[in-house]
Amino acid sequence: MREIISSERYITILEQFVSIQLALEDRPRIEWFMQDGARPHCTEKVFRFLDEYFGYRVIALDYPKFTSTGMDWPPHSPDLTPCDYFLWGALKDTAYGNHPSMLDELESAICVACNSISVETLKDVTSNFILRLRHLIFSNGEHFENIVFRLQRLLDFFLDCLQRTSFSAYSAIC
């Protein structure tokens, strides 16, 4: 059964997440919870739940207004999380590659797309996430993506070209 995500349904999802975290944890609660500003995420009930489990360790739109703790969702940074800047685009590109026409076909294509993501890719995405957080801190939460990540893509392209050239030259010699 498919459901629209209401704040009540979102709290149920959060409760499941938290219960798994509690069952797996063998260390103090040090993680931070981050969510965007989707309507179901920004209700008093959700904020109360987050405050109970995470306290000040929450990054969410309007959370500090409700709790006087935590951090507000960074302005102009919608692509801060790996799901936003990597996963959704990668899944979309792969899942829609065969042009599924039925919902079951789309669900199957999404599962295949998820399973096709390599561990190496996930490591790269994690490294990029850390880089994004550093840039966000350096820019005091201001918009940084256009400049920094265009330069990063240019650098990656340049390094890739160098590797190809070196490899081609090496192959020609051998």
CA distance 145 to 75: 12
Are 81 and 34 within 8 A, CB to CB? yes
Q: What is the pLDDT of residue 49?
A: 93
Are 74 and 80 within 8 A, CB to CB? yes
Per DSSP, the chain holds a count of helices (H) and strands (E) of: 8, 2
- The domain segmentation of the chain, as residue ranges, is 1-74, 76-152
State the CB neighbour count (10 A cutoff) for residue 57.
16
Are 13 and 45 within 8 A, CB to CB? no
pLDDT tens per residue across all 174 residues of the chain? 566 889 999 999 999 888 887 777 666 667 788 887 888 999 999 999 999 988 888 988 889 998 898 888 776 565 677 777 788 888 888 888 888 888 888 888 888 888 888 888 888 888 888 777 777 777 766 666 555 555 566 566 666 666 665 444 434 443
Are 58 and 70 within 8 A, CB to CB? yes
